[in-house]
Chains A and B, each alone.
Chain A
Amino acid sequence: MIEVKNLHKAFGKGAKRVVAVDGASFVARDGEITGLLGPNGAGKTTTLRCLYTLMQPDSGQILIDGIDAAVDPVAVRRRLGVLPDARGLYKRLTARENIDYFARLHGIENETMQARREALADALEMRDILDRRTEGFSQGQRVKTAIARALVHDPKNVILDEPTNGLDVMSTRAMRTFLKSMKTEGRCILFSSHIMQEVGALCDRIVVIARGRVVADESPDVLRAQTGEASLEDAFVKLIGTDEGLAA
């Protein structure tokens, strides 16, 4: 379970000060897919970066399975599987070596590591690329590898920053299936997106974020009912009060 309480984060000082996250609060529950939806620059990535302790919030609290990220960041990262915005691979290593590197950093035993890696390779349908060097991988192959290495330690909580970014239709569908299968395994899944259909099709809960604030936190159906709009996209535009950034 991921809990975010009154999160604040700003960059720069004085006149250049930019408030990225301005008092965001929400909860992502186990066995659910929670979508963090917002236009570009709404503070999604910054919120997620605070979650996996890459950044320290100016104020507010983050609890992962009840562990305070400010108190024990290493324990928090152990409970998280993270696909960040930056998903670079080591191009002189094979996909398998990329995955194993992260598994070892998690301190996983060899046997467990092999079993997990093989299971992920099947689930992500990437067995054929496992022993190829990642240089020259397609975008889809890169994302698969990045997801496999993020999940090799079998984390209870999974954070994905725009996971379908740059993927073609087939890869996107495969990704959705994969996310759903993780949900049925009882994991807590939090992913960010600015694409409506994706969020609508997948999420049990949608957290709409605009200008660093949470403007809605409901199930898709409730969201539609609340705003009185038939389509999720219209509901979204109404919530953030502008249609800027949606086109991107």
Chain B
Amino acid sequence: MNAAITVFLKEVRENLRDRRTVVNTLVTGPLMAPLIFVLLINTVITRELGKAEAPLSLPVAGAQYAPNLIGVLKQNNVEIKEAPADAERAVREQDADVVLRIGPDFAKAWDKGEPAQVELIYDASQQDARGQVERLRKLIDAYGHRTGALRLLARGLSPSILKPVVLADRDQSTPQSRAGLMFAMLPYFFILGGFIGGMALAIDTTAGERERQSLEPLLANPVPRWKILAGKLGATTAFAITTVLLSIIAFAVVTRFLPTEKIGMSLTLGLRFVVATMFVMLPLAALLGTLQTLVAAFAKSYREAQTYLSLLMLVPIVPTLLLSVMPVKTQLWMYAVPLLGQQVTIVRLMRGDPVSDAALLLCFVATAIAALLAALVTAKIYHSERLAISA
């Protein structure tokens, strides 16, 4: 039997006996992407549904000074509440998102036809409050405009002279595209899944083997080192790929049960999504497994290797962040860049945009070449004398 296969089988068998590794490969890693997605999609759904007229609960100070305004607000699905004694403090301490304050002078100014002031107390740095503030502002503005128009009419003037230009919004976004950032994040979690799946083996087969002093006897066997390395890389990649495959399947299943249609988002992740994603993720799992092995080979101990690999884990997030901050038009060359190619492919597939077979193939081949190069570099490291010696 070929020595590389012997090493491969031994590493797989040994690591299948490690409960922590098995849990990471079969549970934690695969569930990463679906779980994160469920969380994200929930946020989107809540936000989209929140735009529809859910009752807005509003603390108002001095409601008695402007009964008409309060009446209009109530008609528009705003629930008026008693305001806290110190409105500013309540907002600062996030006891209230927004507070409306009407001064005692309101009625006097209103009757005179002078601008009557109401105060909106809020914290612009609070993301949650922003929607409510916007909605309230619109309601109060609309009330003001309507009253202004009536006053003009009463003086025999057309209210339209106050509106020389009319702006009409024609928003082309869909719930799917508004969720762009979330989609951009997703591929990272697939990649992270593969990373977690391969991590234990990458460390165990290199730094771990050195730490428990079994590398030297192993290398005393009449087997070329590259064959030993090939078996180890194979085992690491196999674990990473298993994790990614489970991850994609779990994801495809989970999305079927999400109420995405509520917000008009169609997530039809069929066989094509699973197959195409798997296809581009295969060489990436090999590349990541090899890089992990390469990095871990430099480490003297298990702990040191873990530290290095945690840092390496941040690398795949770079294209994710770039793409979510600078949404650029997808171009063919992007598929040829490992990580970026997978990123683009998965995002497009999720959004239902077409990805040509040629692009998929380009992504696969380019990443496979990168994985091969990484394996060659690792093999070179493996031939160094320093590697074999357990300190």
Is the beta-carbon distance between A105 and B221 smaller than 8 angstroms?
yes
CB distance from A87 to the nearest CB of B (A): 6
CB distance from A29 to the nearest CB of B (A): 22
CB distance from B51 to the nearest CB of A (A): 55
Question: Does B134 interact with chain A (Cβ within 8 Å)?
Answer: no
Residue of B nearest to A109 (CB): B1
Question: Does B14 interact with chain A (Cβ within 8 Å)?
Answer: yes
Q: Which of A85, A93, A102 contacts B216 (CB 8 A)?
A: A85
Question: Does A146 interact with chain B (Cβ within 8 Å)?
Answer: yes
What number of A-B contacts does a CB cutoff of 8 Å give?
82
Is the beta-carbon distance between A93 and B14 smaller than 8 angstroms?
yes
Instruction: State which of A49-57, A176-184, A208-216 sits at the interface with chain B.
Output: A49-57
Contacting residues, chain B, for A90 (C-beta < 8 A): 10, 14, 212, 214
Q: In the complex, which residues 106-127 of chain A have their Cβ closer than 8 Å to any Cβ of chain B?
A: 106-107
Assembly CA distance A149 to B220 (angstroms): 11
Per-residue CB contact flags for chain B residues 213-239 toward chain A (1 = under 8 Å, else 0) read 111111111111000000000000000
In this complex, the member of A74, A92, A106 whose beta carbon has the largest number of chain B beta carbons within 10 angstroms is A92
Contacting residues, chain A, for B223 (C-beta < 8 A): 74, 105
Known A55-B385, A90-B14, A93-B14; contact A77-B214, beta-carbon cutoff 8 A: no
Is the beta-carbon distance between B220 and A82 smaller than 8 angstroms?
yes
Contacting residues, chain A, for B14 (C-beta < 8 A): 90, 92-93
Contacting residues, chain B, for A89 (C-beta < 8 A): 212, 214
Question: Does A84 interact with chain B (Cβ within 8 Å)?
Answer: yes
Is the beta-carbon distance between B220 and A77 smaller than 8 angstroms?
yes
Contacting residues, chain B, for A105 (C-beta < 8 A): 3, 6-7, 218, 221-223
Question: Does B261 interact with chain A (Cβ within 8 Å)?
Answer: no
Is the beta-carbon distance between A104 and B6 smaller than 8 angstroms?
yes
Q: In the complex, which residues 173-193 of chain A have their Cβ closer than 8 Å to any Cβ of chain B?
A: none
Given A54-B385, A86-B214, 14 more contacts at CB 8 Å?
A: A54-B216, A75-B222, A84-B217, A88-B217, A89-B214, A90-B14, A92-B15, A93-B10, A93-B14, A104-B6, A107-B1, A107-B3, A149-B217, A150-B217
Task: Please name 21 pairs of A and B residues whose Cβ atoms are closer than 8 Å in the assembled complex, sorted by A.
Answer: A54-B220, A54-B385, A55-B385, A56-B385, A77-B220, A78-B222, A84-B220, A86-B214, A86-B215, A86-B390, A87-B217, A89-B212, A92-B17, A92-B18, A93-B10, A93-B14, A104-B1, A105-B6, A105-B7, A105-B223, A106-B222
